[in-house]
Structure 1
Amino acid sequence: MREKRAIYGGTFDPVTNGHLDIIRRASKIFDEVTIAVADSSSKSPLFSLDVRVNMVEKSVAKISNVNVVSFNSLLVDLCSELGVDVLVRGLRGAGDFEYELNMGYANGSLKEGLETIYLISSLETQFISSSLVRSLLPFNGKISHLVPKEILEDIRRNYVYTT
C-alpha cells in the first residue's frame, strides 16, 4: 500500500503553538508530513529562512514522521517535486476559511489531483498567529504560551527590532 504523505507549507515567521497543533494532528493522519518553510522574501520576514527552518526543526524534533524542507517556488511545484498530492492547511476561523478555500481551488487548478485537507485549530490555539507573536516582540511581551518552548530562546536571540 502506498504511504499517505502530505505537505504543510507556510512562512512560519515564527512557528507557533498553533502551527505545532496542526502538525501534530496531521502526523497522526498521514504516514509522512513535510513541513515546507517558504522563503517568502517578498513578505520581508522578521527571521531569516535559516533561522525559521531551524526553529521548525527544533519544534518537531520529537515527531518521528515529520521532516522539514525550505522552498522558494510555488508550493504546488514542491508537491510535484516530492510526489505529494495532499496539502494540509489550518483554519482558525471564518476569515481563514474563505482565504484557504480559494487557495485550495487555485492550487488544485495548478496541479491535477492535488487535494487540500483543512484542520480546524483547537480551541486552545485558535487565537495564535505568527503576526501576534511578532507584534508582542517590540514590547518584550509574554510569548511563552504562544510558541514551542524549544524555540523561545531562539526567538529572543535572533529578534532584532527595526522600525
Structure 2
Amino acid sequence: MTISINRLFILLFLALFSCFNFKAYSQYFKSAAGIRISDNWGVSIVQILTKRWTAEMLLQPDPVEDFVKSNLLIRHHLPLITRRFNLYLGAGLNFRLGKSEVDFAKTIGASGIGGLELKLGRLLISYDVVPEIPLHASSDYLSLQTGLSLRYILIKANKKKWNWKKFKFE
C-alpha cells in the first residue's frame, strides 16, 4: 500500500495542528510559520499547546537523495530573561518521505530538540540543535543537525486584561 506524500503531509498537518486552540500564557502567539536554514532550506511551523508547551513541525527537502525529512516535536519553554527570550527542550519523531520504494517503517526515528528563541515584534528567531536516532535495527546512523528558524507570527495571542477594580486607589 502506498500513500502519496501530499496526502500524508495533509493528514499529519491536520492531526497535529487542527485540534489545538488553547490560550498561550508564556508565549505571545498561537501560531507561527517560516523558514528553517540548516543543511537545506526548509519550513518550520509552531503551534501553542498549553502554557509553556508548543508543537513544531519541521519539513526539509533533500534534493540529492530525493526525499523530504519531517520532524514532529513537542517543546517545553523556559523563560530566561523575559517571556520573549526563552530556552526550549523537547522530543518527538522524525521520518523521511520519498519517491523511492523504501519501507516507511525503516525511516522512522526519534528526535530531540534544544534551543533558544527570541521574539521581536511578529518575528520569532530561534537557533536549535536536533539530534536524530533511527528506530529501525538495520540503521546505525546518528545525525546531529543545527538550524536557524525565522518565523512570522500568524495568529497572535489574546491579551490578558487587568481588572483594575481590584486595586482601590483613594
Higher strand share: 2
Larger radius of gyration: 2
TM-score, normalised relative to structure 2: 0.25
More contact order relative to length (CA 8 Å, sep ≥ 6): 1
TM-score, normalised relative to structure 1: 0.26
Higher helix share: 1
